[in-house]
């Protein structure tokens, strides 16, 4: 099993591509240690949010998850440096991925956090100094930050860190339906440059990352996934309310069962879970996020392997990969397909009614205050304690 635990929907950032900060969960309702104890054995667990470090009991959650998971990675915006450092002192084997959306100016504009870049960068440096091995950057590539992609990769490389990429997605999880790449050739060109950097490295792990980024070019042009999506078969997400879902890419929340009320076996083998699996089999959203692609790359390993071999064989060439290997990129260049046609292939829907996946009680609190006000008050109370 590969699992992602969304420990909270509260977030202190204001990202331009995600409205989750406007739709926080109520702390009293967030996933408890008792529910976490019911999760199955996993080979990999991702802890995410919202911003997971807003939870003051994150250490207890991690301690519990280590009893059932071989490897844990926490995705964070890196703002709460002291909390991150403290947790890493107790769990030096843990992985930390800090989202940095570009160089300083771009990052701060996209993330909407004062000094967000400096805080994220300082946190990464501190973790490195502590001797933490599994730390890295995560970047969601869009029109605004695409030119920063390779420069940011080079910074991560110099620091000896992992570099994870994503692109814009729409779903209930991001409380967003209007995300779209506008200048596809420009963004693809930056991905192409990154793919070549990765292919020219000596690290096999980076060669697989090159394949993943090749898949991102395919994704932003709205094409079918390069690998099947097997979410909900051996991979799951659990949200702050204990609802188990196949993934975080669906338009509306798809629920297989609830772990607060059910046992894992009951939930996983339920008719509701089977219904969701049927939907996944014919899902046409064609996401390309590491959460659903990494398990597929392991399962269908010969596909990325063969792609890597074909490109590595061009050992005399510095530029081993061209985005024009993708037919759709050539077709767009040659005006065989229009921007409007490609836009229609994306999940962007300007008229969509967005389901934020909140419980009734969490929705209720939004009648009095905004999500930003609720989280700010919550953080102020935490600071007093």
In the complex, minimum distance from the CB of residue 49 to ligand SF4, in angstroms, rounded to a whole number: 6
- CB count, 10 Å around CB of 366? 16
Calculate the alpha carbon distances from 188 to 173, 340, 361 in Å: 25, 17, 42
x-marked contacts with ligand SF4 along 245-284 as a string, rule CB under 6 A: -xx-xx-----------------------------x--x-
In the complex with ligand SF4, the residue whose CB is nearer, 111 or 214, is 111
By CB under 6 A, tell whether 244 contacts ligand SF4.
no
In angstroms, the CA 208 to CA 308 distance is 7
Taking a C-beta distance cutoff of 8 angstroms, is the pair 10, 49 a contact? yes
Work out which of 11, 42, 84, 267 binds ligand SF4, going by CB under 6 A: 11
String marking each residue 17-46 x if it binds ligand SF4 according to CB under 6 A: -x-xx-------------------------
Within residues 47-76, the interface with ligand SF4 by CB under 6 A covers 49-51
Which of residues 134, 272, 286, 331 is near ligand SF4 by CB under 6 A? 286
Q: Residue 120 Cβ, how far from ligand SF4 at the closest point, in Å?
A: 11
Gyration radius of the chain over CA positions: 20
The CB-of-26 to ligand SF4 minimum distance in angstroms stands at 16
Site string for ligand SF4, 210-229 (x = CB under 6 A): -------------------x
Site for ligand SF4 in 345-374 (CB under 6 A): none
**Count residues contacting ligand SF4 (CB under 6 A)?**
22
Q: Examine residue 292 and tell whether it contacts ligand SF4 (CB under 6 A).
A: yes
Q: In this structure, what token pair is assigned to residue 378?
A: 């919550």
Distance CA 137, CA 120 (A): 9
Q: In what order do the strands lie in the sheet with 135-141?
A: 162-167, 135-141, 95-99, 72-76, 44-48, 2-6, 235-238, 243-245, 257-258
> Is the peptide bond preceding residue 102 cis, with omega within 30 degrees of 0?
no
- Per CB under 6 A, does 145 bind ligand SF4? no
**Span near ligand SF4 by CB under 6 A; candidates 143-151, 285-293, 351-359, 367-375:** 285-293
**Least separation, in Å, of the C-beta of 8 and ligand SF4?**
9
Task: Give 225 or 311: the residue with its C-beta nearer to ligand SF4.
Answer: 225
Give the Cα separation of 200 and 172 in Å (integer).
Answer: 38
**Burial class for 364, CB neighbours closer than 10 Å (0-12, 13-18, 19+):** exposed
Nearer to ligand SF4, 61 or 199 (CB): 61
Going by C-alpha positions, the residue among 228, 214, 221, 222 that lies closest to residue 325 is 214
- Structural contact between residues 371 and 23, judged by C-beta atoms closer than 8 angstroms: yes
- Interface residue with ligand SF4, options 6, 7, 15, 198 (CB under 6 A): 15
Contact at 8 Å (CB) between 151 and 103?
Answer: yes
| Residues forming the site for ligand SF4 (CB under 6 A) | 11, 13, 15, 18, 20-21, 49-51, 77, 229, 231, 246-247, 249-250, 280, 283, 285-287, 292
């Amino acid at each position: 099993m590969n699992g992602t635990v969304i420990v909270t929907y509260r977030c202190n950032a204001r990202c331009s591509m995600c409205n989750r900060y406007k739709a926080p969960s109520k702390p009293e309702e967030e996933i408890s240690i008792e529910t976490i104890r019911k999760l199955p054995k996993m080979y990999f667990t991702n802890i995410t949010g919202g911003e997971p470090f807003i939870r003051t009991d994150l250490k207890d959650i991690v301690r519990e998850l280590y009893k059932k998971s071989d490897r844990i990675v926490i995705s964070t915006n890196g703002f709460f440096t002291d909390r991150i450092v403290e947790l890493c002192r107790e769990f030096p084997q843990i992985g930390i991925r800090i989202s940095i959306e570009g160089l300083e100016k771009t990052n701060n504009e996209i993330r909407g956090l004062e000094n967000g870049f400096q805080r994220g960068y300082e946190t990464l440096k501190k973790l490195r100094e502590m001797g933490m091995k599994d730390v890295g950057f995560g970047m969601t590539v869009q029109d605004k930050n695409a030119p920063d992609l390779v420069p940011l990769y080079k910074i991560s490389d110099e620091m000896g860190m992992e570099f994870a990429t994503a692109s814009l997605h729409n779903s209930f999880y991001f409380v967003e339906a209007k995300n779209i790449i506008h200048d596809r050739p420009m963004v693809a060109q930056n991905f192409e440059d990154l793919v070549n950097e990765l292919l020219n490295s000596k690290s096999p792990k980076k060669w697989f990352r090159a394949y993943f980024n090749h898949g991102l070019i395919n994704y932003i042009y709205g094409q079918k996934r390069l690998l099947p999506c097997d979410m909900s078969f051996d991979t799951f997400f659990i949200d702050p309310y204990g609802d188990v879902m196949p993934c975080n890419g669906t338009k509306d929340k798809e629920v297989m069962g609830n772990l607060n009320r059910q046992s894992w076996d009951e939930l996983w083998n339920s008719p509701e879970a089977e219904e969701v699996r049927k939907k996944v089999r014919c899902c046409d959203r064609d996401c390309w996020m590491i959460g659903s692609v990494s398990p597929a790359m392991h399962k269908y390993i010969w596909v990325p392997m063969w792609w890597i071999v074909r490109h590595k064989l061009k050992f005399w060439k510095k530029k081993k990969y061209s985005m024009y290997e993708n037919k759709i990129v050539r077709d767009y260049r040659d005006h065989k397909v229009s921007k409007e046609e490609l836009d229609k292939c994306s999940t962007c829907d300007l008229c969509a009614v967005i389901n934020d996946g909140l419980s009734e009680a969490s929705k209720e609190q939004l009648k009095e205050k905004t999500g930003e006000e609720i989280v700010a008050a919550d953080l102020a109370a935490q600071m007093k304690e």
